[in-house]
């Protein structure tokens, strides 16, 4: 395991594969370097220690997460903490290829909730005038922000997480287990707990590929992907030399392999079955 880089700029350079200029003193003086290092050092974890997460901490983290901004202040995101052992077993059984989920002290499901918005109209005796794709998209974005906010709050409390979108492969079964009513849908699950290991952050595409100035420009994309493939393979050789030897593919080829067959092609149908209009 490589030693953690000393400064924020070192950490970013290691993650993005190119140097970052040090922040000028006056700017550096006002940043919370520890907070930024925590964000920049994010890693998805799939192993946890046995240490349980106190209920009071779960409620605190949920409240921090739900403090995220909310589109039009509609508050269209909810969190379901799956705590009952029977309920957990049912949810975990939906993803047998991820047995590590069972070890996580916390299992949460982040949901978009378009039901409450509609209830406001019912209470007001008004017809609901927003049956269109935006009515689905907004709760999905709100729930994603709450998920991210939960992960960052958890990191600040010493926990590590892994989002679980594979749960959506079995969206209808998950809906039935969690008793999700019409206009409520899962965005992602999340496993969380105290870490069992340290992880070196995974590399990311260079900023030249993902940070655009004034207008979109992806002329350098092919080069950026090629460079990233090389760094990705090198990182795998460091983390998991055995796996890297058995499957010495780059990031781009692996993603194509992963998505060679359509995944979750029935998601639109599920969303419509929950009452949303997608036009």
Residue 91 CA to residue 109 CA, distance in Å, equals: 10
Residue 208 interacts with ligand FMN (CB under 6 A): yes or no: no
Residue 83 CA to residue 90 CA, distance in Å, equals: 11
Residue 212 CA to residue 271 CA, distance in Å, equals: 33
CB of residue 81 vs ligand FMN: minimum separation in angstroms?
A: 18
Q: Specify the residue, 62 or 188, whose C-beta has the smaller distance to ligand FMN.
A: 188
Rounded to the nearest 10 degrees, how much is the dihedral formed by the CA atoms of 196, 201, 203, 207?
A: 150
Residue 110 CA to residue 104 CA, distance in Å, equals: 16
CB of residue 55 vs ligand FMN: minimum separation in angstroms?
A: 25
Among 162, 171, 180, 184, binds ligand FMN (CB under 6 A): 162
Residue 164 interacts with ligand FMN (CB under 6 A): yes or no: yes
Residue 194 CA to residue 131 CA, distance in Å, equals: 42
Residue 202 interacts with ligand FMN (CB under 6 A): yes or no: yes
CB atoms inside a 10 Å sphere around CB 156: 14
CB of residue 267 vs ligand FMN: minimum separation in angstroms?
A: 13
Q: Specify the residue, 23 or 103, whose C-beta has the smaller distance to ligand FMN.
A: 103
Q: Specify the residue, 67 or 165, whose C-beta has the smaller distance to ligand FMN.
A: 165
CB of residue 7 vs ligand FMN: minimum separation in angstroms?
A: 20
Residues of this chain that bind ligand FMN (CB under 6 A) = 43-44, 162-166, 188, 202
């Amino acid at each position: 395991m490589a030693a953690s880089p000393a400064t924020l700029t070192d950490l970013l350079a290691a993650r993005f594969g190119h140097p970052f200029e040090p922040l000028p003193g006056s700017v550096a003086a006002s940043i919370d370097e520890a907070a930024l290092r925590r964000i920049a050092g994010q890693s998805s974890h799939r192993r946890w220690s046995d240490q349980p997460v106190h209920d009071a901490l779960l409620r605190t983290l949920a409240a921090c997460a739900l403090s995220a901004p909310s589109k039009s202040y509609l508050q269209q995101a909810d969190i379901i903490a799956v705590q009952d052992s029977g309920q957990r077993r049912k949810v975990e059984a939906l993803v047998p290829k991820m047995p590590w989920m069972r070890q996580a002290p916390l299992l949460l499901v982040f949901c978009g909730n378009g039901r409450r918005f509609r209830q406001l109209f019912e209470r007001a005796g008004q017809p609901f005038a927003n049956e269109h794709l935006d009515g689905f998209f907004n709760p999905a974005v709100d729930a994603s922000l709450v998920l991210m906010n939960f992960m960052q709050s958890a990191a600040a409390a010493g926990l590590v997480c892994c989002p679980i979108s594979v749960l959506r492969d079995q969206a209808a079964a998950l809906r039935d287990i969690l008793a999700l009513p019409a206009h409520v849908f899962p965005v992602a699950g999340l496993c969380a707990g105290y870490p069992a290991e340290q992880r070196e952050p995974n590399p990311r595409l260079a900023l030249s590929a993902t940070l655009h100035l004034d207008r979109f420009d992806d002329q350098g994309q092919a080069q950026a992907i090629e460079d990233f493939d090389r760094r990705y393979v090198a990182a795998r050789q460091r983390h998991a030399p055995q796996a890297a030897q058995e499957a010495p593919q780059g990031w781009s080829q692996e993603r194509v392999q992963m998505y060679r067959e359509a995944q979750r092609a029935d998601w639109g149908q599920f969303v419509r079955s929950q009452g949303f209009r997608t036009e």
